[in-house]
Amino acid sequence: MTRVQARDTAREILEIIPLVMRTVAAELRAAGEMPAPAHFGLLSILSTRPRMLSDLASLQGVSLPTMSNSISAMVERGWVRREAPDGDRRVVMIDVTPGGRAALERVTRCAEAHLADVLAPLDLTARRKLQGGLGVLRKVFAAAPASGARKNHRTPAKR
Amino acid sequence: MTRVQARDTAREILEIIPLVMRTVAAELRAAGEMPAPAHFGLLSILSTRPRMLSDLASLQGVSLPTMSNSISAMVERGWVRREAPDGDRRVVMIDVTPGGRAALERVTRCAEAHLADVLAPLDLTARRKLQGGLGVLRKVFAAAPASGARKNHRTPAKR
DNA sequence: ACTAATGGTTATGAGTGCTAAGTTATCATA
DNA sequence: TATGATAACTTAGCACTCATAACCATTAGT
């Protein structure tokens, strides 16, 4: 990819992604009860199986304190539970509650409905393009979690 | 687009967009001096020509108070100026300062560099897909600024 | 002149994200 | 066994996004 292409793509990403982000967030908000996309993703991940706090943080690519806060917010809503596993008493396992599952269910249906409205006018070609593009984004950004870091959240070696 | 397709796409969007968002934000942060993607977009828009505060708000799809705050932050950084036009003394025109232009320039180069690293491994096909997808996203989300609203930021008629 | 609508601002509250600075709990080792 | 490092979390403080409610000005309509 040439410099010019990179710049154009960069510009486009910096322009479009926040827009999509705001729109989606606004929809979730309007749907009531879902404060943020982050919570949605978290519930999604947790609905498969319980996870350690640190695992959640690195899966989502955020710092441990950030994840701890998000989880606290969700605990307060009654969507997840913090539990102590038998073995290592330092770790905290996060598990979905039935309430959390229900919320995920509701919000999924709602988001689906809204996005379906928006996506409805797309023809087959456009849909293919969209999915192709999303796939590329996933590959690119899942592989490169920020520029380098992401392995040591603490002060780096400090000595 | 069928329901199932809509749901899958919705899921994918809700998963990928925040990820990209976080990554990009982290990069801008790491680059120093750019606190948020929003400011970048604003500078971008304003670099073409000055705008009214309300226009900026509706262009970005955010509320007037939100925009007012963002602009205040940017004024404090010396990137933009509030000025009163001759005609209507209610309106505030926002204009970029030379400093703002310089910052935009720097950050563009920086974002470009980082994204170029990330995008480098893409071959022609992948790039095409990415751009196609972004194009679809733009069309879809630029046309549908949240679900309906976006025309009356004040209390809706209240009687 | 009086009221209504328009353009902005301030205040408050909930979220996301970060770093820095703790707390426990576990492990290695002298 | 103490001692010290490290790992997993939490707390506190800061900056930013976004929203609504409530408030000033200014302009326009009657």
Interface touch B115/A10, C-beta < 8 Å: yes
Interval B34-43 mean pLDDT: 82
Q: Residue B45, exposed/middle/buried by CB under 10 A (0-12, 13-18, 19+)?
A: middle
Q: Closest chain A residue to B138 measured between Cα atoms?
A: A16
Q: Which structure tokens are listed for A131?
A: 């999915």
Is the per-residue pLDDT at B145 higher than 60?
Answer: no
User: Which class is B38-143 in CATH?
Assistant: mainly alpha
The separation, in Å, between residue A18 CA and nucleotide D10 C1' comes to 31
Is the per-residue pLDDT at B114 higher than 90?
Answer: no
Is the per-residue pLDDT at A103 higher than 80?
Answer: yes
Interface touch A16/B141, C-beta < 8 Å: yes
Task: Indicate the residue of B62, B115, B133 with minimum beta-carbon distance to A130.
Answer: B133
**φ, ψ dihedrals at A93, nearest 5°:** -95, 140
**φ, ψ dihedrals at A52, nearest 5°:** -70, 155
Is the per-residue pLDDT at B148 higher than 60?
Answer: no
Q: Which of A12, A16, A40, A123 to mutate to test the interface with B (most CBs of B within 10 A)?
A: A16
Percent of chain B with pLDDT over 70: 87
Q: Which structure tokens are listed for B1?
A: 């687009």
Which is more confident, B153 or A9?
A9
**φ, ψ dihedrals at A151, nearest 5°:** -175, -20
Q: Which structure tokens are listed for A85?
A: 């596993």
Strand D at less than 7 A from CB of A18: yes
Residues on chain A touching B145 (C-beta within 8 angstroms): 23
Please name the helix (run of DSSP H) or strand (run of DSSP E) that holds residue B60, with its range, or none: helix B53-60
- Name the β-bridge partners of B94: B51, B82
Residue-wise pLDDT tens digits, A5-63: 777 787 788 888 888 888 888 887 877 766 677 888 899 899 999 999 999 999 888 99
Whether B114 contacts chain A with CB within 8 A: yes
Residue-wise pLDDT tens digits, B117-129: 777 778 889 888 8
Interface touch A146/B118, C-beta < 8 Å: no
pLDDT band at B3 (very low <50, low <70, confident <90, very high): confident
Q: Residue B66, exposed/middle/buried by CB under 10 A (0-12, 13-18, 19+)?
A: middle
pLDDT band at B140 (very low <50, low <70, confident <90, very high): confident
Mean pLDDT, rounded, of chain B: 81
Interface touch A9/B142, C-beta < 8 Å: no
pTM, whole model, 2 decimals? 0.81
The architecture (CATH level 2) of A3-143 comes to Orthogonal Bundle (1.10)
Residue-wise pLDDT tens digits, A52-101: 999 999 988 899 999 999 999 999 999 999 998 888 889 999 999 999 99
- Helix H segments across chain A? 3-30, 37-48, 53-60, 64-77, 98-119, 124-143
Closest CA to A11 of B131, B129, B14: B131
d(CA B58, CA B42): 12
